[in-house]
Structure 1
Amino acid sequence: MDKVFGTAGEAVADIPSGSMVAVGGFGLAGIPWILIDALLEQGADRLTVVSNNCGVDGAGLGLLLEARRIDRVIASYVGENKEFARQYLAGELHVELTPQGTLAERLRAGGAGIGAFFTPTGVGTQVAEGGLPTRYHTDGSIAEASAPKEVRDLGGRPMVLEEAIVADIALVRAAVADRHGNVVFHAAARNFNPAAAMSGRLTIVEAEKVVEAGEIDPDAVHLPGVFVQRVVELSPEEAARKRIEKRTTRGAQPPADATSKEA
């Protein structure tokens, strides 16, 4: 039952090329920084990555993208990653854009053993009707486009059929995990991480802190250990490695009394 591995490198060592990898996080919040680095060093390529987006230039999944380890991306948006946009528009990358909530539910459904589900999201758009560019020619023309999906009237509303995602591997970041793989996420890191973890046939968690079994209150568990096969405990330096995509600050404001005097 002890699922703790010594290093991130050991935990990802047997991930084969051509795998579908679900990765938790939203932008750079809650992404598995150390596992991504370990996968980059390990060398697996021809990957299909399922994630809300593909990181940013020079960080997160952007590193795998720049190293040409990713062939296909299933994501909600291109985000701040210029290399992602360049590869997509140049015909170097196959991209399946999926509404954000739909993507989260496709991952969760995969983990719950649900093959597909109907949702009103995307009805009346190319999401349901087909025609979304999934790959371009080098001249900018569309090489491949999405196919139409089944739409059915349910409860008086048209709904589109979306298939679940079951990934070969899931990589996620947690605040706390025990040795049996029960996991607690912190704040915004509890975004795509639980759904991504559920979807993986082999789920690897990097945890900022690892505790003994029984130390996490059962009511505090966000992800049960049944969904987790491997746990990596981060060093304090690795646990502190966190970034945000953009830092926006507000200049010093004048005191309230000074404002009133000017008025």
Structure 2
Amino acid sequence: MDKTVSSAADAVADIPSGASLAVGGFGLSGVPIVAIRALLAQGADDLEVVSNNCGVDGWGLGELLAAGRIRKVIASYIGENREFARQYLSGEVEVELTPQGTLAERLRAGGVGIPAFYTATGAGTAVSEGGMPLRYAPDGQIALTSEPKELRAFDAFGPAREYVLEQAIRTDFGLVRAGVGDRHGNLRFEKSTRNFNPLAGMAGRVTIAEVDELVEPGVLGPDDIHLPGIYVDRVIALTSQESADLPIEKITVRPRPGASTTDDDNERGR
């Protein structure tokens, strides 16, 4: 039952080129950066990644993207990553944009064995009607578009309206980052890191979790477990230095009460 591995390199050693990955994180919060960098060093390419976004320039999944290792991304957000936008518009990477809540439910459905579900989100738009650009040609023309999806009317919540059928997502591997985990793979996520991480962990056939703190089985109470160990196959215990690698995506400041503009600019190093 001890699922700990000796290193991140060992944890990702069997991820092959062409594999599909569900990756936790939201912006820079809860990103399994150690596993991502181990995979970058391992060399697998032609990857299909399912994540809320594809990191930022130079960090997170953006490191794999910049190295040309990603073939396709299923995500809900492209912003904050110029290289992602460049590769998409130049035809280097295929992108399937999915509404954020729908993406979350597709991952959850894959984890619990539901093959598909109906949702009102996207019905009557390009999400259901098709035609969204999936891949561009190098000359800027659209090379591949999305197909129409099945629609069906339901009246369970009032007057009948159309709902779009969305298919579950099941990936070869899941990569997640947790605040605390035990040797059986039970995980607890801290604050906003509990966003796509549990869902990515559920969707992966083989899930690799890196944890800031490794504890013994029984330390985490049942009510403190956000993802049961049944979904987790490998646990990486991070060092304090690895845990501290948490860059700030956007730094915002406000003037101190009573301070002059010059004082605040000097304090910020401008």
Say whether the fold is shared (TM-score over 0.5): yes
Shift of residue 241 of structure 1? 1.0
Map 1:199-214 onto structure 2 (within 5 A).
199-214=203-218
Residue pairs, 1:100-111, within 5 angstroms = 100-111=100-111
The CA distance in 1 between the partners of 2:54 and 2:204, in whole Å, is 18
AA aligned to 1:226 is I
2:231 maps to: 227
Are residue 76 (structure 1) and residue 80 (structure 2) matched?
A: no
Provide the residue aligned with 1:126 in structure 2. 126
CA distances 1:3-50 after superposition (whole Å, capped 9, x unpaired): 000111110011111000010000111100101110000000000000
Unmatched segments (≥5 aa) in structure 1: 256-263
Q: Look up the match of 1:167.
A: 171
The alpha carbon displacement at 1:209 in A equals: 0.5
**What CA deviation, in whole Å up to 9, does each residue of 1:133-183 have, x standing for no partner?**
000111111100000000100121210000000010000000000000000
**Structure 1 counterpart of 2:228, one-letter code:** P
Matched residues in 1 for 2:100 and 2:29: separation? 16
C-alpha distance in 2 between matches for 1:239 and 1:38: 15
The 2-side partners of 1:138 and 1:11 are apart by: 36
Instruction: Please list every run of 5 or more consecutive structure 2 residues that lacks an aligned counterpart in the other structure.
Output: 260-270
Aligned length, in residue pairs: 255
> 1:224-247, CA deviations, whole angstroms, 9 ceiling, x for partnerless residues?
000000000000010111123211
Secondary structure of the corresponding residue to residue 5 of structure 1: coil
1:245 aligns with 2:249: yes
Percent identical among aligned pairs is 62
**1:13 corresponds to which residue?**
13
Who is 1:30 aligned against? 30
Q: Provide the rounded CA distance (Å) in 2 between the counterparts of 1:177 and 1:117.
A: 31
Question: Which runs of structure 2 are paired with 1:131-142 in the superposition (5 Å)?
Answer: 131-142=131-142
Is the contact between residue 29 and residue 244 of structure 1 (CA under 8 Å) also seen in structure 2?
Answer: no
2:166 alignment partner AA = E
Deviation at 1:119, TM superposition (A): 0.2
CA deviation profile, 1:84-120 (whole Å, cap 9, x unmatched): 0001000111110000000000000000000000000
- Rounded Cα–Cα distance in structure 2 between residues aligned with 1:122 and 1:42: 38
- Give, in whole Å, the separation in 2 of the partners of 1:43 and 1:184: 30
SS in 1 for 2:131: coil
CA distance in 2: counterparts of 1:247 and 1:108, whole angstroms: 32
CA RMSD in angstroms, aligned pairs only: 0.8
